[in-house]
A and B are shown apart, each in its own frame.
Chain A
Amino acid sequence: LIEDSIHYQNLVRLLLGQQFPDVELHVAGEGIAGLAMAGQLQPDVLLVDILLPGIDGATLITSLRSHPQFMNSRLLVITSLDETQREPYAFALANVPVVHKPRLVAELPALLAQALGARALVA
C-alpha cells in the first residue's frame, strides 16, 4: 500500500485484517519510498493512492509499468478524486481498477480478491 494518509492506511489495515488475514501488508507513506519498497518486495498486488507527496501516484504507476520487474504485480488505485478530477491522470489509469475512497469498504475486498486470484492462476 502506497498511501500518505494514516487514516486510510488504518482503514486498509483493518479491512485486510478482517477479510484477508493471510495477506501480508506493507505500507509506504509517500511515493519515492513506495517505489523503492515495491522494487524490494515485488508484491503480488500494489495499492496506490494518486495524490502523494514526493512523486504523484500517476507518475509512479507509469514508472512501475515501464519496469519489467513489476510485470507480476497487479495494480489497484485508490483515490478520493472523483471521475472528473481523475481526468488529468487518465494516461496512467487506463486498464487499472480504481476504487473511490468513499466506496473503499464496499469495493476493495472484491477487487483485491480478484487481483490475488489472478496472481494464483499465474503462479
Chain B
Amino acid sequence: LNMSQGRVLFVDDDPSIRRFVEMALETMDVTVSCCGSVSEAIEKLCEHGPVDLLVTDLMMPGDSGFDLLQRLRDEPALRGSARLAVFSAGLHGKVQAELARYGVWRQLSKPVSASELEECVRDAMAWAARPISLAVREEEAGPGQEALPPLAQPELDVVQAHFAGDLGLYQAFRDGCCRQFAVDLARGEASIQALDFEDLLHLAHSLKSVLLLLGHKELSDIARDLESRAARTEAVHCAPLWQRLAEGLARLTAQPYVR
C-alpha cells in the first residue's frame, strides 16, 4: 500500500459495476478499494482509517447508502476529511436535496461513464492535495503513467483565491451560475427594452461580483461600467454595454468551461 497515494473507497452491491470501476480507475495514481456492502465498507474504514474519496450506491440489500452516510455523520472519525459522492439511478430533486444535507459533494447518475468517474476522482484528489498546482499534479503521476489532464491554471487560481481550494464547491457554484446566466440574459434584455434602469443596476451589480468570483475579469469590468451607467440612467451607453455583456454570458451559458 502506497501511503502517499490518494485513497478511494467504492461501495456497490453489483459485482459487474465494481469490476467496471476497478478497470476505469486502473491507470490513475490512486488506491481503489471496492466493497459490496455498507458493513464491509465500514469494516474497511475501521481497519485502515478514512479515505480521501468515498463513492457509494444508494439502493443496496441490507444497509443502504443513506445508512452509510448517516453512520459517517455520526462518527466523524470514520469519515475524516473524505469527499462524499453518490452514484445511483433515479437521482431526482428530493433525493438530491437530501444528499446535499448529508454533505454529499458530487452526485453521479447511473449509468456513469469511465470519464465521469475519472473526473470525480481527479477532482477529489485535487481537493485532498491542497494547495493544487500544476507542478504537483505532474509529479504525482508516477513514471510510465500519463500525467492527468490538468485543469487550466486560471481556473485553479480562482479555486484557490475564491473557493478556499474547494474544487467541488467551485464546480457546483459555477454550474448553477451557468444555468442562472440564461435567466439573467432574459431579465437584462427586458430591462433594456423597458428602460428599467433600477433593475438593470441591480442585475449589473450582481453580475459584476459573480463574474469576478468566477475569474472573468473582463466581463466583470463591463458589468461594472454598465452598473455606473445605469445608475446615471444613460440609456445610450447602457445598450451597447449590455450587448457586450450579454454576448459574454451567452458564451458561458452555451459552452460551460471547455478544458
- List the interface of chain A (C-beta within 8 A of B): 4-8, 10-11, 14-15, 17-19, 21, 51, 53, 80, 101-103, 105-106
Chain B contacts with A in 94-127, Cβ cutoff 8 A: 100-103, 105
Give the residues in chain B near A18, CB-CB below 8 Å. Answer: 100, 103, 105, 169
Dominant SS among interface residues on chain A: helix
Q: How far is the CB of A73 from chain B (nearest CB, A)?
A: 23
Give A101 to B202 CA distance when docked, in angstroms.
15
Give the residues in chain B near A80, CB-CB below 8 Å. Answer: 205, 208-209
Give A101 to B105 CA distance when docked, in angstroms.
22
Query: Which residue of chain B has its CB nearest to the CB of A107?
Result: B164
Query: Which residue of chain B has its CB nearest to the CB of A53?
Result: B202
Interface size on B, residues (CB 8 A): 28
Q: Are B101 and A14 in contact (CB under 8 A)?
A: no
**What are 12 of the A-B contact pairs (CB < 8 Å)?**
A5-B206, A7-B173, A8-B209, A8-B210, A80-B208, A102-B162, A102-B209, A102-B212, A102-B213, A103-B162, A105-B163, A106-B164
Q: Are B180 and A6 in contact (CB under 8 A)?
A: yes
Give the residues in chain A near B169, CB-CB below 8 Å. Answer: 14-15, 18, 105
Give A47 to B141 CA distance when docked, in angstroms.
43
Q: How far is the CB of B47 from chain A (nearest CB, A)?
A: 27
**B166 in contact (CB, < 8 A):** yes
Chain B contacts with A in 177-230, Cβ cutoff 8 A: 177, 180, 183, 198-199, 202, 205-206, 208-210, 212-213
Q: Are A14 and B202 in contact (CB under 8 A)?
A: no
Question: Which residue of A6, A11, A19 contacts B183 across the interface (Cβ within 8 Å)?
Answer: A6
Give the residues in chain A near B180, CB-CB below 8 Å. Answer: 6-7, 10
Give A5 to B202 CA distance when docked, in angstroms.
8
Give the residues in chain B near A19, CB-CB below 8 Å. Answer: 103
**B143 in contact (CB, < 8 A):** no
Give the residues in chain B near A21, CB-CB below 8 Å. Answer: 73, 100-103
Q: How far is the CB of A41 from chain B (nearest CB, A)?
A: 19
Give the residues in chain A near B62, CB-CB below 8 Å. Answer: none
Give A10 to B202 CA distance when docked, in angstroms.
17
Q: How far is the CB of A104 from chain B (nearest CB, A)?
A: 8
User: What are the 3 A-B residue pairs with the smallest beta carbon separation, nearest first?
Assistant: A80-B209, A5-B206, A17-B100
**B176 in contact (CB, < 8 A):** yes
Q: Are B177 and A10 in contact (CB under 8 A)?
A: yes
Give the residues in chain B near A10, CB-CB below 8 Å. Answer: 173, 176-177, 180
Assuming the contacts A21-B101, A105-B163, A106-B164, asked whether A7 and B206 have C-beta atoms less than 8 A apart, the reply is yes
**B254 in contact (CB, < 8 A):** no
Assuming the contacts A7-B177, A14-B173, A17-B103, asked whether A51 and B205 have C-beta atoms less than 8 A apart, the reply is yes
